[in-house]
Amino acid sequence: MKTDSRLKRVLEKGHFAVTAECGPPKGADPKVIKSKGKILKGFVDSVNVTDNQTGVVRLSSLAACVLLKKEGLDPVLQMTTRDRNRIALQSDILGASALGIRNVLCLSGDHQSFGNQPQAKGVFDVDSVQLIQLVRQMRDNGVILGGDKLSEPPRLFIGAVANPFADPFAYRAIRLGKKVAAGAEFIQTQCIYNLTRFNEWMDKVRDLGLDEKVYILGGITPLKSARMAEFMSKQVAGMDVPDEIINRMKSIPAREQRQEGLKIAIETIQALKEAQGVHGVHIMAIEWEEAVPQLIEAAKLFPRPQV
Amino acid sequence: MITAERKPLSEIKEMIAPYKKILVAGCGSCVAECASGGEKEVGLLASALRMDAKMEGRRIEVNEITLDRQCVYEFIDQLTGLVGQFDAILSLGCGAGVQALADVFAGVIILPALNTTFIGQTKEAGLWIENCRACGDCKLGYFAAVCPITRCAKGLFNGPCGGSKDGKCETDPDAPCAWQLIIERLDKAGRLDLLQNVYPPADWSKQQGKGPRKIHREDQSI
């Protein structure tokens, strides 16, 4: 049977996949999601919807996924363990499947202290690896935690994240291995600016044979300005923006920096297309969705395959 | 030990405002060790309250006592016959001490002067760090004697999150990443293989499943 997940079909057929991120609005207006969906439709295989990204309250990921699905896109439901205990997680997973969502991305989530609810009680009842395992068991064995049988298992393509740039570096590939062992089928990475370090990580990933067990999509965020590059380098946890990139952005007049940011992104995509074991890209154009079609065309990833 | 910090004087003043005769009751155990509720701190707080009342032209009587332990009946008994002489008892015990006093002296106003903070270790003089959440299901054996529930901001069981940088936690540049410590310690012990295990979700029912926990040992009963 043909799976409903476009992302899964694209990857299984051996195409270089393209996914993009879509941040829901800080309000109840569905038009924002729909218009972002319209911009991305046809240019990407799937669209990730962030789950209260950076701990900031936004329209729910599940609701936004349904809105995108109605627009004819293949949404990826991001689900963090920060805000839900195991009862809520399992319930939302079933709900997502029932509503026709076919991809889930399991992550722990940004710590609540960074968002607009720093007094919130972080749940973290399970961690991201445990969540992957839990979804996998629900889908493949039709059971929830504790062994109770489901009347109908969820049908989800299971994803996870990896950050090749966080410390301790030596452990990062092993951690990916753990996520794969827990049941992850595709991986989206943190934004790549330091290709040298990314390649070192990929060497370890290949040594462990993980690139043959899981689809890896490299993270791409086009820089809008030299200031953004500096901010990401200094202020955003787990980001690695080398001085070389910052200096390159700085050397360009301010009004042309967006173009330079896109150029860097295109170069990175080209490098990832060449890298053995990289199966696609995940574009996180933070509130700059209009850039995505342009980027995809320039990187010669358009048209998308018919699957 | 259990650590605590004294509440701000303004909050203590507000609590005791309706009362004229106050007994400041310290505890000689954990809170004395962490310099928040022992004999010395009882003396300092009592003096501060007397001075403050004098400066504001209020009449107030503040007496002092420090029990060896506020959470054990044998020591609380020292207050029997004494509490009736006061309008309120201002306890410098931890939350267990405050509640133990209230348990023994029904009808007496018992007020907390401390914020009970955590179970921790004296890292150095004047520095205490939390290292145990009393989850009731200790897994330190798997994690190189570093508790990820307590010392990882996200309480992760399966390795560091994506925010760990230069050995520090993303939530606090002064806090070491618990997982960095775990990995370093496992490496030194030649037990890096333990990292490959996928650890299942915790059984939180041992901590907060059915309200307050209880240990009842027949062999210790009289």
Measured between CB atoms, which of B165, B184, B202 is closest to A238?
B165
Q: How far is B137 from chain A (nearest CA, A)?
A: 15
Q: Which residues contact A307 (CB under 8 A, 6 or more apart)?
A: A6, A9, A10, A13, A15
- Chain A's closest residue to B180, CA to CA, is A168
Tell me if A82 and B162 make a contact (CB, 8 A cut-off). Answer: no
Question: Are A49 and A77 contacting, i.e. CB atoms less than 8 angstroms apart?
Answer: yes
Per residue in B40-57, pLDDT (tens digit) is 999 999 999 999 999 999
* Dihedral sign for Cα atoms in the order A84, A87, A92, A97: positive
- The amino acid occupying position B218 is E
What pLDDT sits at residue A112?
Answer: 96
Whether residue A237 is predicted with pLDDT greater than 90 in this model: the reply is no
Opening angle at CA B147, ends A130 and A172, nearest 5: 55
Strand residue runs (E) in chain A: 17-22, 46-49, 75-80, 103-107, 157-162, 186-191, 215-220, 280-283
Candidates A122, A145, A190; nearest CB to B201: A145
Interface contact flag, B160 A175, Cβ < 8 Å: yes
Q: Which of A124, A136, A138 to mutate to test the interface with B (most CBs of B within 10 A)?
A: A124
Contact A127 B156 (CB under 8 A): yes
- Taking every pair of C-alpha atoms in chain A, what is the biggest distance, in angstroms? 61
Contacting B residues, span 6-65, partner chain A, CB-CB under 8 Å: none
**Residue A1 predicted with pLDDT over 60:** no
- Average pLDDT of span A167-186: 95
DSSP-derived secondary structure letter, B123: E
Displacement of CA B89 from its chain's centroid (Å): 19
- Identify the band that residue A163 occupies on the pLDDT scale cut at 50, 70 and 90: very high
Which uninterrupted H or E stretch holds B32?
helix B30-33
At A109-148, the pLDDT tens digits run 999 999 999 999 999 999 999 999 999 999 999 999 999 9
How many contacts, defined by CB atoms under 8 Å, are there between A and B?
102
Inter-chain contact A125–B204, Cβ cutoff 8 Å?
A: yes
d(CA A154, CA A90): 10
Q: pLDDT digits over B108-163, tens only? A: 999 999 999 999 999 999 999 999 999 999 999 999 999 999 999 999 999 999 99
- On whether any CB of chain A is under 8 Å from the CB of B209, the answer is no
**pTM for this model (two decimals):** 0.95
Distance (Å) from the C-alpha of residue A45 to the closest C-alpha of chain B?
Answer: 25
CA-based nearest residue in chain B for residue A233: B165
State residue A2's pLDDT score: 67
B199 touches chain A (CB under 8 A): yes
Give per-residue pLDDT as tens, A259-278: 999 999 999 999 999 999 99
Distance CA A40, CA A184 (A): 25
| Surface of B (142-171) touching A: CB under 8 A | 153-167, 170-171
Two tokens, residue A145: 């935690």
CA distance B119 to chain A (A): 19
- ipTM for the complex shown: 0.92
Residues 6+ apart with CB under 8 A from A36: A22, A289
Q: Any idea which residue has 């903070």 for tokens?
A: B117
Residues of B in Cβ contact (< 8 Å) with A121? none
